[in-house]
A and B are shown apart, each in its own frame.
Chain A
Amino acid sequence: MHNKSRITRRDALKLAGAGAAVAAFPFARPAIAQGAPLKVGLLLPYSGTFAALGDAITNAMDLYVKQQGGKLGGRTIQWVKVDDESKPERAVENTSKLVEGEKVDVLIGTVHSGVAMAMAKIAREAGLPTLIPNAGANALTRSQCAKNIFRTSFGNSQPGVAAGKAMIDAGIKTAVTYTWGYAAGEESVEGFKQSFLAGGGKIVKEIRLPFPNVEFQAGLAEIASLKPQAVYSFYAGGGALKYMKDYAAAGLNKSVQLWGPGFLTDGVEKAAGEAGNGVKTASHYVDTLDNAENKKFRADYNAAFKVFPDVYAVQGWDTTHLLDIGLKAVGGDVSKKDDLFKAMRNAKFNSPRGPFRLSASQNPIHNFYLRELKNGENVFVKVAATDVSDPTTGCSLA
C-alpha cells in the first residue's frame, strides 16, 4: 500500500508545469490596442445572497447597450465582470482587479454597501468615472461624495422618508420599527423617523435584529404586546420573505399594518403569496407605472430575458442611460473627465421610474410611490412623495 501514494517525478514535473502556466496568467494580459472598445468594469455580485440583483442589473445594462447597437457615445462597449460575492473583506482586491488590473475606463458597481464603500475609496483615488447601480449607503453621496462618483439608485434614507410621509398621510400615529440593526437598516429608519416624527407620529419602540439573523419571532411577540398602529421594517431578499410570512403567520397582519421601503417586497412578491397581502411599501419604482419609458422597457426586457424587470433592472437601465448621456457629451472620449462628469451631473431624463435627475452630491432626485402588495403584485396606490432628494451632509460638491 505504500507504493500507491508514490507520485512519479514525471507526474510532478507535469503538475509543476501546469502550475507555472496558471501562475503566469493573472499578469499576462494582452496589450490593449488603440481605438479598442470602451472597457466598462462591472463589480457586481454573481454569487452569494445578492446574485439575483447582480444578474438583473447586468441584464438591463446589456439590453440598453444592445438597443444602442452595442455602442454608447460612439464607443463599442466591452463588459469586464468581476464577481464581488458581496464580500467586503474581498472588496479591495476585487475593485483593484478592475481598476488596476483590467484598467477599465468606467466602473459600475455594486449592490452591497460595504463593498461599495471600498470600491468608492479606490475609484475616488483613481478618479475613475464610477456609477453605483444599487448600494444605498448614505455616506456614498454624503460625506464620501466625489465628483467622479454617481449613484443611480437611492440613498438608504430616501425610501424611509417617503414611507414616513405616506404613513402620516394614512393617518398612522404610532409605530414600532423592527429592522436589521446594520447600517442599511439604521439609515432607513433614520429617514423614516425624519418624516414620521415631523408629521407628528410617535415611535413606540425601535427593535433591532442582528443582520442577517432571520429569527423574527421574539420581535413579533414584542410588537404584539406594544400594539402600535403600524410597523416599519427594513429587510430584504430571503429575510424579507421569511419576515412577511412570519408576520402573517403570527396573525399580526390582521391588526398591525406592515410598512417598509420597497426592498421589503421587491423580488419576493410572488413567493410571499397571501402572506404579503396588505404590506405597504414606498419605492422609487412600481411595475405598473404608467409612462412610455416603463412600458417599452418592460416589454423589451421581457422579450429579451423571458422575465419582467424589477427595480434593480430599472436601476441598471438608468445607470447605462446616465453613462450614455455622459459619453455622448464627450464623443466617447473618457479622458475628457470634466466634461463627462458635468454632462452626467446635469443629466435629466425620463426613466421607467419617472423623471430622473441628480442632486448636488450626485444622488438621484426622484419620485416615490406608495405600493400595496396584493396577491403577488405590488399595486400602485399613489405617489407618496415627489422629487425626494437626500441631504448632502458633509459633501464637498454641494
Chain B
Amino acid sequence: MLARPRPLVIVVLLALAAYAIALPFFGGAFALKFATRVMITGIFVISLDLLIGVTGLVSFGHALYFGLGAYSLYFISPTSAPANAFLAIPFAMLLAGTVALVVGSVAVLTRGFYFIMVTLAFGQMGFSLFFDTKIAGGTDGAYINVRPVFSLGSWQLLNFQNRAAFLYFCLAALVLSYLFLLWLVRTPFGRVLQGIHHNEARMSALGFNTYAYKLASYVIAGALAGFAGMLFAAIDGYVAPELLGWRESGLAIMMVVLGGAGTLYGPLLGAIVYSLVEETLKSASELSAFFSLFTNAANAKWLGGIFANSWSIPLGLFLIAGVLAAPKGIAGFIEKFAGQPKRSKPPEIKPEVEQREQAKAMQLEVENLVRAFGGLIAVNGVSVKFSSNKVHGIIGPNGAGKTTFINVLSGALRPTGGNIRLENEEIGGQRPHNVARRGLGRSYQRTNVILPFTARENCALAAQARFPSPLRFSNSWHRREEDEAVERALAAAGIAPERADIRASNLSHGEQRQLEIAMLIASGAKLLLLDEPLAGMGPEETGRVTALLRELSADHTIVLIEHDMDAIFAAADTLTVLVEGRLLAHGTPEEIRMNGAVREAYLGEWGQEAKP
C-alpha cells in the first residue's frame, strides 16, 4: 500500500513549496509564470498518476480532460468581463468529470495496452471535435479576453490577473490536490484501487465491483485534470485544440514515468525536472552561461548556439539516461536515500477469545450444469449438492473440467446451461463480485494475493469487502468490525503475528497460500471454493492446512479441488469425481475409494495401495 511520504520526501516538497512562496519576492514576471505553469502541470500529472500509478490504468488520453477544462473557461467567460472562478472551477471539473464518466464507462472495459489505445482514441476524437469544427474558434484556438476573478457579489477576493496572487492560488491548489490524492489513496476506496492495480481478478472475486472502482478513479482524475486545464487557460487566456491532443497526453505520461509512477509526489518532481531541463536546453543564453563555466565566452556562446539549435538531441539523451539509470524515476532515486518506509502500527486488537459458535454456513446446489467453449464441452451436465458445514473435495484427472467447474460457480465464467443455487437462490450467470457478495469466496490455483501489500493489509482489503461500496472514503466506518475480522482471520489461518506486517511478496509460498485462505475468512465468505490449496506445500504444511480446513468447516462450507489424494481422502466429508466434464461419482471418501469406475478412470493402483 502506498505509504505516507518519508521525512526526506517531505523535506524536499516543503523546500520546493518554500521556494515557490518566496519566488514573487525575487523572481521576474517570467519566473512567476513559469513556476505557475509548472504547478498547474503538477496538478495535471498527479491526477494522471492516480490512474497510472495507483489504479494501474495507463491513460493516453488524459489531456482530453485538461483541454476540456481549459475550454470550459472559454465557454463560461463573457467576452469582455471576467468569469467568476467560483463558478468556473466547478464548471471545469463538472464538464471534464462528465465527459470522463461517459468515456470511462466504455474505456475501463478494456485492459492493459488496449486501454491505452482506447483512451488515445477518445482523446483524438476530442481533439478533432475542436480542431475540425468551428466550436470555440476551431483550428486557430480561442481567446479568453479577461482572466477570471474570485468574487462574491461585488466583492473581489482574488484576481488571476495579479501574477503573484495567481501563483499562490495555484500553489495552494497543488498542495490541496496532492494532499487530497494522498488521503484518497489511503482510504478504503484508494486501497481497493491499489488492489485492482496489482490483482484485479482477486478484487473482483472478493466482491468488489472493480468496474465501478476503476470508473470512479477515472472520473476523479478527469475532474482534477479539468481543474488544472482551467487554471492553465487562465495563465494567458489562450486555448488551442492541441491542448487535448496526444502529444500533451504523452508528455504527461513522460513526466509521470520520469518522476516515478505510483508515488504521487514523483510525477510532480518529474514535471518540475522535465520543464526545467527542456527550458534550459532550448535556451542558447542559458546554455552559453552553463558552458562558460568550462570555457571562454566565445566558445561558450558557440556551443550554446549549437546545442540550443538541436535541443531535442540532448533532451532525448537526458530522458534515455533517466530511464536507464533510474528505473523507478526520480522518486525511486530519492527513496533510496530515505530508508525503509514506516508502516502504520497494527491496530491493538485482540481477537475475541470467545469460542466461535457453530454457525450454519451455506449450501450450494448445482443442477445439470453445462459450460462449453465453442465446440468443447468442459462441464457436461453436472448435478451435485454441497451441503453446509462440510468439506467437499473435487478430484479428477487433469482436463476433467474441475477448474472450469469452479470458475462457473464463482461467476468468473458464465454457465452455458443449468442452475446454480446458493441457499436456494439462483446465482448462475451473475458477475463474480455479486456472487462474492452473497458469501461465496474463492481462491486460485496460482497464488493470488496482492503482493505489494502486507498480509494484514491484504486481509483488511478482504474485510472491507463486507461493505464493498465504492463510495467508502472513510476509515472509520466499520473500522472495529473489520479490524476484528482481520485479526481473527490471520489467527485462524495460522499466520504468525510477526509475519503479518511483511509484504506478501516476501512471504513463503506456503504462507501466501495461507494468506489467501485468511483473506477469504476475513471477507466473511461462508462458502469457500479453493482451487488446489495444498499445491506446492510440503507434508508438514499440508498437515497444518488440512487441519485448518477441518476447523473452518465449523462455520464454513468448503469446496476444494485437490490432487494430493492422501490429504483429500483424509480431510473431505464428500468427494466428487469429475472425468471429461462429467460427474463420475459422488460420495464419501470410502465409497469413492471402493468405486470401480473411479479406480479405472483415475485412481489406478493408488486406491488399492492405500486400502488398509
Contact = CB atoms under 8 A, between A and B. Distances in A.
B121 to A, nearest CB: 15
Nearest to B244: A89
Interface in B245-267: 245, 247-248
8 closest Cβ contacts across the A-B interface?
A: A101-B30, A88-B240, A183-B139, A100-B30, A89-B242, A182-B139, A100-B29, A118-B238
B140 interface: yes
Nearest to B235: A92
B245 to A, nearest CB: 7
B247 A89 contact: yes
Counting chain B CB atoms within 10 Å of each CB, which of A80, A121, A137, A181 scores highest?
A121
A137 B241 CA distance: 15
Nearest to A23: B276
Interface of B: 27-31, 33-34, 37, 128, 131-132, 138-141, 143, 235-238, 240-243, 245, 247-248, 273, 276-277, 279-280, 282-286, 289-290, 308-309, 311-312, 325, 327, 333, 336-337
Given A89-B243, A89-B245, A26 B236 contact: no
Given A96-B236, A113-B139, A121-B237, A87 B276 contact: no
A365 B496 CA distance: 88
B337 A9 contact: yes
A19 interface: yes
A184 interface: yes
Contacts of A81: 284, 308
Contact of B28 (A88, A101, A210): A101
A237 to B, nearest CB: 16
Interface of A is mostly: helix
Given A25-B280, A181-B132, A210-B131, 11 more contacts: A25-B283, A27-B34, A87-B242, A91-B240, A93-B33, A97-B279, A101-B31, A103-B28, A114-B242, A117-B140, A211-B131
A88 B242 contact: yes
A56 to B, nearest CB: 16
Contacts of B141: 88, 114, 117-118
A122 B34 CA distance: 15
A38 to B, nearest CB: 16
A132 to B, nearest CB: 13
A80 B341 CA distance: 48
Contacts of A114: 139-141, 240, 242
Given A22-B290, A83-B282, A101-B28, A117 B138 contact: no
A139 B140 CA distance: 9
Counting chain A CB atoms within 10 Å of each CB, which of B241, B285, B290 scores highest?
B285
Counting chain A CB atoms within 10 Å of each CB, which of B28, B141, B236, B280 scores highest?
B141
Nearest to A15: B333
B276 A22 contact: yes
A291 interface: no
A89 B132 contact: no
Contacts of B333: 7, 12
Given A28-B289, A210-B128, A83 B238 contact: no
A46 interface: yes
A101 B283 CA distance: 11
Contacts of B282: 82-83
Counting chain B CB atoms within 10 Å of each CB, which of A89, A101, A139 scores highest?
A89
A182 B280 contact: no
B116 to A, nearest CB: 21
Contacts of A12: 333, 336-337
B557 to A, nearest CB: 46
Nearest to A140: B140
Nearest to A29: B285
Contacts of B30: 27, 96-97, 99-102
Interface string A5-17: 1010100100000
Counting chain B CB atoms within 10 Å of each CB, which of A12, A21, A96, A113 scores highest?
A96
A88 B333 CA distance: 34
Contact of A182 (B132, B279, B285, B290): B132
A23 B276 CA distance: 6
A255 interface: no
A100 B238 contact: no
A95 B282 CA distance: 13
B143 to A, nearest CB: 6
A101 B248 CA distance: 23
